[in-house]
Amino acid sequence: MRRLTVVFAGLLITGLLCSSESYASQTASEHDAQALASSPQWLTTKVYIEGEPDTDVKASYPGVVGISMWDPQRNRYEFFYTDTGRSKHADGGGGYFLVTGDKKTHILVPDVGPTRTIVRRLEKLDGSEFTYSREVPRDMVSTNPPVRIYVVHAPYTGPIKTVMSN
């Protein structure tokens, strides 16, 4: 027992005398979930396949295109159609989200629908751009091989005003 007490005392003294500087890598400050609040609405401006950033394929991936709203205070999101502003919530386009502690992963948990979670890699997030990537079947056809798509958003300044359902 005495030996254990001496070991713990030694560890305590060592901890107090050593620097408390962290050697962990710092995350990029540009990935800030609060940046989602920098605009009340975000618009999908481009969708491209990995390795083909100059080719916009939005027409092949209509399910990821739209206007989105993010509430970092409540961790709520909702998606809307760009032509009407109608909510996609009833079709799984609304729910909770979180950004992981390393600020590299963006996870959606829809309120309704067959999909329970959607995991996306956070590529860029600041006040002027929100870009994520994820693997999906090519052209969103379930029998096609998977590809990584990049979905780029910018703050929306158009005429459609949306309001979150929840």
pLDDT by residue (tens digit) across 97-136? 999 988 899 999 999 988 789 999 999 999 999 999 999 9
Largest Cα–Cα distance in the chain? 76
Predicted local confidence at residue 37, as pLDDT: 85
Predicted local confidence at residue 30, as pLDDT: 45
How far apart (Å, rounded) are the C-alpha atoms in residues 93 and 48?
21
How far apart (Å, rounded) are the C-alpha atoms in residues 85 and 57?
22
Res. 161: pLDDT tops 80: yes
pTM of the model: 0.78
Amino acid symbol at 145: P
- Domain residues of the chain, as ranges? 31-155
CB 47 within 8 Å of CB 61: yes
E-assigned strands of 10-155? 42-49, 67-71, 76-80, 94-99, 105-110, 118-125, 130-137, 146-155
80: confidence class by pLDDT, cuts 50, 70, 90? very high
How far apart (Å, rounded) are the C-alpha atoms in residues 25 and 62?
37
CATH number of 31-155: 2.40.128.540
- Segment 47-56 shows an average pLDDT of 96
How far apart (Å, rounded) are the C-alpha atoms in residues 64 and 153?
11
